[in-house]
Amino acid sequence: MSNRNHDRNDDAELDLFFDAAQRDRPDPSDGLMARVLADALDSQARQAPPARGARRTVPFWTQLRDALGGWPALGGLAAAGVAGLLIGFSAPAALGDLTVAVLGTTSETDSYLVDLMPELDFDIAMELNEG
């Protein structure tokens, strides 16, 4: 029981300090209020919408970045592009074996000769070269 009485006494003393702090509130100085007001007016001016009739142009690259999802998305896109270039320039040996298995060619050197769209003929190109 003595512990509860001790806590109540501490709370009563704290209440006295809080009441005194509320009664003796210092007023901010005029210089501080002027600086706060100037900062608020400056912030409002920067965030104000453009005047009527004035066009606010956003650069093309900024629009593209925002349309793609911002910098994190562009980072992923750049990493995928670099990985594609790396695989394209120095393809792993297993990729050639996979190509042979999928396309069914007899050797790896013939894999680039596969016509993936045989219905498209180059008759027009041949006629232009002949005449």
* Pair 74, 68: CB distance under 8 Å: yes
Read off the amino acid at residue 52: R
Tokens of residue 30, six digits: 């005029």
**In terms of pLDDT, which residue wins out, 29 or 115?**
29
Which residue in 99, 119, 115, 118 sits closest to 107, CA to CA?
99
Rounded to an integer, what is the distance from CA 62 to the centroid of its chain?
A: 12
pTM: 0.35
Whose tokens are 């001790």? That residue is: 6
- Average pLDDT across the chain, whole number: 78
pLDDT greater than 80 at residue 28: yes
The torsion angle over the Cα atoms of residues 68, 69, 74 and 80, rounded to 10 degrees, is: -80
Q: Which has the minimum average pLDDT: 28-42, 54-68, 115-129?
A: 115-129
Read off the amino acid at residue 105: T
Spatial distance between the Cα atoms of 79 and 83, rounded to a whole number of angstroms: 6
